[in-house]
Amino acid sequence: MRLESFINESINDKAILHACFMAGAPGSGKSFFLSKIKSGSIEARVVNTDKFFEYFGNQNVARSKTLTVSQLHLYIDSMLPLFADGTSTDSSTTLKRKALLETLGYKTGMVFINCSLETSIERARKRKRIVPDDVVIQSYETMMKIKPIYKSAFDFFEEEYNDTGELTNEAVLQAFRKSISFFNSPPSKKGQGIIDKMKENGWKYLSDGVYDKTFISQVVSNWYKEKSGHSI
């Protein structure tokens, strides 16, 4: 199936040019939350590198990367609402990606799902792929250190604390309500200007006249680029 078949774009759709970043402590339930979020009116596309690995496996890394990059290009060109799920322990990469989307007119926010260190370790031990305690502790401590950075960087920052048992449907609902309030908010000033210009000209995609495809490709390339300068 072609990637374009997943796109149902419209300049009048809700939540266009909105992107919510996901962050959280290890074992907080971030991945479970992302797997459960659905809405009849707004269904943000999840941007990560894991989706295509599920289809092609680690033996075809190049193929999965190519499809991931192509997918993000289509999403952005169509101004679709996004859930950005990446290496949230690396604040510089997250903030770089935030800035890239804002350059294109996106409004950005963050939902941070948290839990205690004890719960983080306990849940990590129950995973099929066991993560050593010291790795979990290091990751947890890093997230706690950079949480204030995220809180100050994002105008919309909501934290959901999930520390009892497994992540329940109620906890998912609470986190979803917080994120949906962001997607229902007005676009950024730059984003609204882009929307008005596109409506005036009858454009459906950013590449119709706002930005050329080469510029969008450069943004996507910079999104999937490690600090070393090599694309992931």
How much is the pLDDT for 5? 41
How sure is the predictor about 193, in pLDDT bands with cuts at 50, 70 and 90?
Answer: very high
Identity of the amino acid at 102: E
Looking at per-residue confidence, does 210 or 85 come out higher?
210
Least confident of 19-23, 133-137, 162-166, 208-212: 162-166
Q: What is the pLDDT of residue 126?
A: 83
Which listed CATH number (3.40.50.460, 3.30.70.990, 3.40.50.12780, 3.40.50.300) goes with 14-223? Answer: 3.40.50.300
Least confident of 56-60, 72-76, 197-201: 56-60
Confidence of residue 41 (pLDDT cuts 50, 70, 90): low
pLDDT value for 1: 38
Cα separation values, 121 from 37, 134, 174, Å: 25, 9, 23
Say how far apart CA 50 and CA 85 lie, in whole Å. 10
pLDDT of residue 91: 92
> Which DSSP state fits 87?
-
Question: What is each CA distance from 35 to 6, 30, 152, 174, 189, in whole angstroms?
Answer: 17, 9, 27, 15, 31
Residue 57 host element (H or E) = none
Q: Provide the pLDDT confidence category of residue 107 given band limits of 50, 70 and 90.
A: very high
* 71 has pLDDT over 70: yes
pLDDT of residue 128: 76
pTM: 0.84
Per-residue pLDDT at 146 exceeds 90: yes
